[in-house]
């Protein structure tokens, strides 16, 4: 079987063109560029790389970025107060807080200081709750990216999807969104006992476990659709959860790593940001 | 195999005894009974029956009930305004809005007038969102009842659960809650193609489809745990989704209908109500 390899660059390019047009409309109405606040609480190498790619794309789209490095070194520093002040000062149109969160970052406090319409990552309790009850507005960008890719494959949604990830930014919101589209959904995780049995009986497998080349052809059925959300460095190369070489010829479709879900996720983030910003301007939504 | 039949009456009795004790504590602090507002927007026979059983249990627990029948007959009536006024007037400690909602009942407006701490059904966007992100507080009573019954079966949670229902009051919140407890969860529904294949490979099956005796022994594997949330009238008798006669001897455990999940759900509703009321009094939670 011929395995179609997803082209994340061209897919995300289409989203970006639309976002860039909306940015221009925003600028023509407000007379200034939309502002994105990128909070980096860890300053790890990983978040720096992700941060840079976001800044680069924002530049291209016409969005102004404000990086904020929150990395408390002394006991007197209050990072939450700093964040609160900078939100007031910058008055951004969207906020991203890079993960993983360090221990001192209280996500429930974050919840209180980031309003829903600035939560372009779709991680707030209200955003998640709306997705849960079938009225999604902003959902976590990775989950939405996977959704968009799956929906682009055609109208047959009555299929079985297995998601290997139960996090609040991938597995859980994706499961809720897919149920609204008539997919039958199984959520697996590290404690799942018969993983191979489940993946082999699934039409679509979404993996976000971050283990290099973990799933070989023995895990999938002939013609499976594979969506790879894993990103791991292996021998100096960035690779996904699926063993590309092994599954090629057996899967019908696969998203590569890099160049698959990743770029779409970043594009969705900015498209979410501009959707929320325009809805605010045009008072289309009661947040 | 011997099939254990769950005793919902004794299980709910244990919850009720605890709730009754909390009600007494509430009364000793506040000098008055806790108040439950039961809104019936349809006045159908079904909601009347459910409503009566709730009023009866509330009485026994020492909770005062205020039934409100919202059934607009003329164009000038504004049922939402009536509801809003009665909330102010009664100042209840919990609100239940009976389902199914009629077309004129706007659930997003309901959302705005019922504060989270009175939402003892756990159906508000915030309650659902908290469950979604793994910090459940009040979750829909039926989902919580099923959780409690499952957890009472022992510590082995690494099992496969199949939920046949994707509603916002059963399937979705139950799936999120079970994932937090390490279960592997599949959510099925009317569009699922290979239902029998999925139910047969599940250790635990939770059904809430409301089709009399729909699942016979051919749908389950030897030793399966069956949780029956369906309630249908058939030949003048109330029956569940599982064909009790057929699955007996093959399942290891089943909750009967009536007398299974139903009474536990009602008990959970009141236990939720008193939990929220006491947390408010003792300022344990920032809603």
Tell me which chain B residue has its CA closest to the CA of residue A286: B108
**Interstrand relation of B94-97 and B35-40 (parallel, antiparallel or unpaired):** parallel
pTM exceeding the 0.90 threshold for the entire prediction? yes
The tens-digit pLDDT sequence of chain B (287 residues) is 999 999 999 999 999 999 999 999 999 999 999 999 998 887 777 667 667 888 999 999 999 999 888 776 655 577 788 888 999 999 999 999 988 888 777 777 787 788 888 999 999 999 999 999 988 999 999 999 999 999 999 866 679 999 999 999 999 999 999 999 999 999 999 999 999 999 999 999 999 999 999 999 999 999 999 999 999 998 999 999 999 999 999 999 999 999 999 999 999 999 999 999 999 998 876 55
pLDDT of residue B73: 65
**Predicted confidence band at A46 (pLDDT cuts at 50, 70, 90)?**
low
B189/A contact by beta carbon, under 8 A: yes
How near does any CA of chain A get to the CA of B75, in Å? Answer: 26
Phi and psi at B251, nearest 5°, equal: -75, 155
How near does any CA of chain B get to the CA of A197, in Å? Answer: 9
If you search the block for the tokens 């002040």, which residue do you land on?
A: A85
Cβ atoms of A96 and A114 closer than 8 Å: no
How near does any CA of chain A get to the CA of B119, in Å? Answer: 14
Largest CA distance in chain B: 62
Of A134, A171, A194, the CB nearest to B168: A134
Cβ atoms of B222 and B199 closer than 8 Å: no
- Kindly list the strands in the beta sheet with A160-164, ordered across the sheet, starting from the edge strand earlier in the chain: A4-5, A253-254, A225-228, A204-207, A160-164, A184-188, B184-188, B160-164, B204-207, B225-228, B253-254, B4-5
Tell me which chain B residue has its CA closest to the CA of residue A123: B133
Of A127, A166, A179, the CB nearest to B187: A179
DSSP letters, B176-215, are HHHHHTT-EEEEE-TT-S-HHHHHHT-SEEEE----TT-B
Chain A residues with CB under 8 Å of B209 CB are: none
How near does any CA of chain B get to the CA of A56, in Å? Answer: 31
- Domains and their CATH numbers in chain A: 30-117 (3.40.50.10860), 141-261 (3.40.50.720)
Q: Between helices B125-132 and B171-180, what is the axis angle to 10°? A: 30
Interface test with A, best of B184, B188, B205, B286 (most A CBs within 10 A): B184
If you search the block for the tokens 């994707």, which residue do you land on?
A: B166
Neighbour-count burial of B282, counting CB atoms closer than 10 A to its CB (0-12 exposed, 13-18 middle, 19+ buried): exposed
- Classified as helix, coil or strand, B225 is strand
A153/B contact by beta carbon, under 8 A: no
Tell me: pLDDT of A222 over 80: yes
Handedness of CA A278, A279, A282, A283 (dihedral sign): negative
pLDDT of residue A72: 66
How near does any CA of chain A get to the CA of B39, in Å? Answer: 21
pLDDT of residue A287: 59
- Segment A94-105 shows an average pLDDT of 85
Residue % of chain A over a pLDDT of 70: 95
pLDDT tens sequence across B233-242: 989 999 999 9
Q: Which has more confidence, A52 or A87?
A: A87
Cβ atoms of B199 and B242 closer than 8 Å: no
A126/B contact by beta carbon, under 8 A: yes
How near does any CA of chain A get to the CA of B169, in Å? Answer: 9
Chain A residues with CB under 8 Å of B155 CB are: none
Least confident of A82-96, A196-210, A244-258: A82-96
Interface test with A, best of B109, B114, B125 (most A CBs within 10 A): B125
pLDDT tens sequence across B272-281: 999 999 999 9
Cβ–Cβ pairs < 8 A, chains A and B: 113
pLDDT of residue A148: 96
How near does any CA of chain A get to the CA of B138, in Å? Answer: 13
Chain B residues with CB under 8 Å of A125 CB are: 126, 129-130, 132-133
Hey, are the CB atoms on A184 and B189 less than 8 Å from each other? yes
Alpha helix (H) ranges present in chain B? 8-30, 45-61, 79-90, 107-113, 125-132, 141-152, 171-180, 195-200, 244-247, 261-281
Give the whole-angstrom CA distance, residue B117 versus residue B133. 18
Of B125, B130, B166, the CB nearest to A130: B125
Hey, are the CB atoms on A132 and B129 less than 8 Å from each other? yes
A184/B contact by beta carbon, under 8 A: yes
Interface test with B, best of A160, A177, A186, A202 (most B CBs within 10 A): A186
B106/A contact by beta carbon, under 8 A: no
Hey, are the CB atoms on B172 and A179 less than 8 Å from each other? yes
Euclidean distance between the first and the last CA atom of chain B, given in angstroms as a whole number: 47
Of B135, B168, B179, the CB nearest to A187: B179
Give the whole-angstrom CA distance, residue A269 versus residue B100. 37
3-state secondary structure chain A: CCCEECCHHHHHHHHHHHHHHHHHHHHHHHCCCCEEEEEECCCCHHHHHHHHHHHHHHHHHCCEEEEEECCCCCCCCCHHHHHHHHHHHHCCCEEEECCCCCCCCCHHHHHHHCCHHHCCCCCCHHHHHHHHCCCCCCCCHHHHHHHHHHHCCCCCCCCEEEEECCCCCCHHHHHHHHHHCCCEEEEECCCCCCHHHHHHCCCEEEECCCCCCCECHHHCCCCCEEEECCCEEECCEEECCECHHHHCCCCCEECCCCCCHHHHHHHHHHHHHHHHHHHHHCCCCCC
- Classified as helix, coil or strand, B96 is strand
Q: Which pair of structure tokens corresponds to residue B179?
A: 């994932």
Tell me which chain A residue has its CA closest to the CA of residue B189: A184
Neighbour-count burial of A25, counting CB atoms closer than 10 A to its CB (0-12 exposed, 13-18 middle, 19+ buried): middle
Tell me: pLDDT of A135 over 70: yes
Hey, are the CB atoms on A184 and B176 less than 8 Å from each other? no
Chain B residues with CB under 8 Å of A119 CB are: none
B125/A contact by beta carbon, under 8 A: yes
pLDDT of residue B89: 93
Cβ atoms of A103 and A125 closer than 8 Å: no
């Amino acid at each position: 079987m011929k395995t179609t390899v997803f082209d994340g660059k061209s897919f995300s390019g289409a989203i970006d063109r639309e976002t860039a047009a909306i940015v221009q409309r925003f600028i023509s109405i407000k007379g200034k560029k939309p502002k994105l606040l990128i909070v980096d609480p860890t300053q790890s190498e990983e978040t720096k790389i992700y941060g840079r790619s976001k800044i680069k794309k924002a530049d291209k789209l016409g969005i102004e970025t404000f990086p904020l490095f929150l990395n408390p070194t002394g006991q007197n520093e209050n990072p939450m107060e700093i964040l609160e002040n900078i939100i007031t000062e910058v008055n951004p149109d969207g906020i991203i807080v890079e993960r993983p969160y360090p221990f001192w970052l209280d996500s429930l406090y974050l919840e209180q200081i980031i309003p829903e319409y600035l939560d372009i990552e779709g991680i707030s309790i209200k955003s998640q709750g709306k997705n849960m009850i079938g009225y999604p507005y902003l959902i976590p960008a990775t989950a939405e990216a996977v959704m968009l890719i799956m929906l682009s494959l055609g109208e047959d949604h009555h299929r079985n999807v297995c998601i290997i990830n139960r996090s609040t930014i991938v597995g859980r919101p994706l499961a809720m969104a897919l149920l609204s589209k008539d997919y039958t959904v199984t959520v697996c995780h590290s404690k799942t006992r018969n993983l191979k049995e489940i993946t082999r009986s699934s039409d679509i497998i979404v993996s976000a476990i971050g283990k290099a080349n973990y799933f070989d052809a023995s895990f999938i059925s002939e013609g499976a659709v594979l969506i790879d959300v894993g990103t791991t460095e292996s021998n100096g190369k960035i690779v996904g959860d699926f063993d590309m070489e092994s599954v090629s010829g057996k899967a019908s479709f696969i998203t590569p790593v890099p160049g698959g879900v990743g770029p779409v996720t970043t594009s969705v983030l900015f498209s979410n940001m501009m959707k929320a910003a325009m809805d605010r301007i045009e008072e289309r939504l009661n947040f």
